[in-house]
Amino acid sequence: MWRGLGGRMRRLKLAVPAALVFLAGCAKDAPQDTFDVDGPIAQKIDNLQVPVFLIAGAVFLLVQGLLVATIIRHRHRPGRPDPVQVHGNTKLEFGWTVVPALLLVAVAFPTVFTIFDLSREPKGDVLPVEVYGHMWWWEYRYPTLGISTANELHIPTGRPVRLDLHTIEPGIPPAKGQEFAQGVLHSFWVPKLAGKQDVVPGRVNKLTLIANKADTYDGQCAEYCNLSHANMRLKVISQTPLEFDKWVEDQKKPITPPAGGDAAAGFELFKGKGTCIGCHTLGGVEGAVARVGPNLTHLMDRTTFAAGLFPVTPELLKKWISDPSAMKPMRPEQGTGMPKVPLSETEIDQLVAFLETLK
Ligand code: CUA
């Protein structure tokens, strides 16, 4: 059977996925490559993982090599006597106990030091940012700057950014005495800038980001958080301090209410029939302060929406508003994710015209 067609098919069925998984690691310029780092925090992790990877790789090759050589060399042949038995060889047993123990110690010391080093509060001109994981997007609030945004985190280059990681679900009724319902587990991960940090209900975990240069870094939620976990991406946009300051100034500006036309009609729908105001913040608009969905004050300043899934274009925004869950699975009926709004196609066009003014 094993040598027959069935066996060969079975081996092929195992070999093809294995080869695909292996080849998937060969991507060039992968946006989330942990071996291609761009900041001092990620560099410290890289400085640890590369030697550990090399030591572990050498051990793997040695052990597997000896195993395979032994299997081939001493395989059963008719009439061949048993090979020399080494059971009870003190020198050998001492050696293969002590050498791995020393290797583990050699790996443990830098690992523990790196863990403590990474968890230390950064010094200097630190920029604090509160990160809130929602099902299924990221909210960023800059307490010292008085601004907030979503999914695309802007940071200045060369400056330590200290993240406070929270998880909330403002779309779900909170427990007594709480401002927001507690969220679920997430994990904030931007591989080129830092390691993963879990976002845990009921506590505030910390993570430091430092970017060397101005660039855009892809990241994602790295802890299963229900239905759209795979659709909870993020970007970190690092800018020179000058450009960052300009971005902050822009973010502080309230919206400019449209003077007329479709956009003005869309603005009315936003506040009224469309019910958008119940979930989204719009700077300078009375009553538009909710945090159920992303702050839309400067939506057009972002490159993507729906947690990094789609480029911000009028066509995709229209498709999204027409049926959000068709583009990204969500559970609006349970308070997580955007519901369909009671608007006609013409009204949705007007709403999109308004959204396009949110620069
Ligand atoms: Cu959030 Cu997975």
Q: How confident is the model at residue 210 (pLDDT cuts 50, 70, 90)?
A: very high
Question: What average pLDDT score do residues 252-274 get?
Answer: 97
Distance 24 CA to ligand 1 centre (A): 23
Distance CA 17, CA 15 (A): 6
Half-sphere exposure of 280 toward its Cβ, with a 13 Å CA cutoff? 23
Helix segments in the chain, DSSP class H: 5-24, 40-73, 90-119, 241-252, 261-271, 314-322, 324-327, 345-355
Give which of 146, 129, 148 is closest to 188, Cα–Cα: 129
Give which of 274, 285, 272 is closest to 358, Cα–Cα: 285
Distance 189 CA to ligand 1 centre (A): 10
Distance CA 229, CA 225 (A): 5
Model pLDDT for residues 340-349, shown as the tens digit of each residue: 999 999 999 9
Distance 225 CA to ligand 1 centre (A): 4
Residues near 97 by beta carbon (within 8 Å), at least 6 away in sequence: none
Instruction: Give the tokens for residue 8.
Output: 């060969």
Which protein residue has the closest C-alpha to ligand 1 atom 1? 186
Pocket of ligand 1 (CB under 6 A): 133, 136, 186, 221, 223-225, 229, 232
Contact 180, 169 (CB under 8 A): yes
Distance 358 CA to ligand 1 centre (A): 28
- Supply the pLDDT for residue 76: 87
Residue 19 has pLDDT above 70, yes or no: yes
Q: The tokens 């970007």 sit on which residue? A: 235
The pLDDT mean for the chain works out to 94
Contact 209, 196 (CB under 8 A): no
Query: By mean pLDDT, which of 8-12, 187-191, 283-287, 300-304 is the weakest?
Result: 8-12
- Supply the pLDDT for residue 4: 58
- Supply the pLDDT for residue 273: 96
Secondary structure letter of residue 227 according to DSSP:
T
Model pLDDT for residues 113-132, shown as the tens digit of each residue: 999 999 999 999 999 999 99
- Supply the pLDDT for residue 1: 44
